Amino acid sequence: MSSPCCVDPGVKQIYQAQGYEKEIAGVNSYVTGEGKSAIIIFTDVFGNSFVNVRKLADTFAQSCQVTVLIPDYFNQDSMDPDDPNLWDLLPNWLKKHPPTYACSIGEKFISTIKSNYQSIQVIGFCYGAKVVIDLITHNELSSLVKAAIVAHPSFLVKEEATQIKRPILFLCAENDSLFTSDLRQEFEKELKSNGLGTFIEYPGTVHGFVVRPDNTEQVIQEKDKAVQDAIEFFKRNI
């Protein structure tokens, strides 16, 4: 359940992150903002040190007036966006970092911070979407999540659609070999009927576009629109 899009870092971004690093629940975490409510970002394979995701975290913190946290569930062993052989390295890397382990870290993380914030929302990109779905289908921990977002998700299975317990926004690429049209239809059918799901498709985009866009004008515009849609969703659910 992976494709070359999973390891395409997109156009290189230059940005000075505004937050700081802190150990939370036993893992290094990027923290930005000082709000009374929180957003947890669960990352793609490039982890919490990737400048693109830290830029998004700062944007969410400033726009929503919340604290944003990004746990490093790869234990400082995320994929290197500058490595030319990422696609070849991915299979063995995934064996060392299975999504089940990331889900266990996500569960421990939200359990650790739950009493520190008035509300908690979550967002997952690619690999990280699996952690989001794990939390909002969890019999006990789903109640800790006010609302959720996934962008171009990976590793989802159709059976999870009926188990989701919290409001969720899907930021969908037009062409996505990992969140296929058939799989997406399963989630749409269930989540539109029960009112929990919202789905937005962004024309001309592929898997990874929200965090790792190329430099074409249309993709940049659609990425910016997706970020704004996420911000508006977060604000409605704080």
pLDDT digits (tens, 9 = 90+) for 41-71: 999 999 999 999 999 999 999 999 999 999 9
Q: Do 19 and 58 contact (CB within 8 A), yes or no?
A: yes
Distances (CA, A) of 101 to 16, 75, 106, 134: 30, 11, 9, 11
What residues have CB less than 8 Å from 202, skipping those under 6 apart? 171, 172, 173, 174, 209, 222, 223, 225, 226
Q: How many residues does the chain have?
A: 238
Q: So what's the architecture of 24-236 in CATH? A: 3-Layer(aba) Sandwich (3.40)
Distance CA 198, CA 195 (A): 8
What residues have CB less than 8 Å from 187, skipping those under 6 apart? 156, 158, 160, 161, 170, 197, 199
Which band of pLDDT confidence, cut at 50, 70 and 90, is reported for residue 4?
Answer: low
Question: What's the mean pLDDT when you consider all of the chain?
Answer: 96
Which band of pLDDT confidence, cut at 50, 70 and 90, is reported for residue 8?
Answer: confident
R_g over Cα of the chain: 16
DSSP string for residues in 50-66: -HHHHHHHHHHHHHHT-
Q: What is the pLDDT of residues 65-116, one digit of tens each?
A: 999 999 999 999 999 999 989 999 999 999 999 999 999 999 999 999 999 9
What residues have CB less than 8 Å from 173, skipping those under 6 apart? 152, 179, 201, 202, 205, 206, 207, 208, 209
Alpha helix segments (H runs only) across the chain? 51-64, 86-96, 99-113, 129-137, 181-193, 217-237
Which has more confidence, 22 or 6? 22
Assessment of whether the complete model's pTM goes beyond 0.95: yes
Dig out the tokens for 83 from the structure.
């490595």
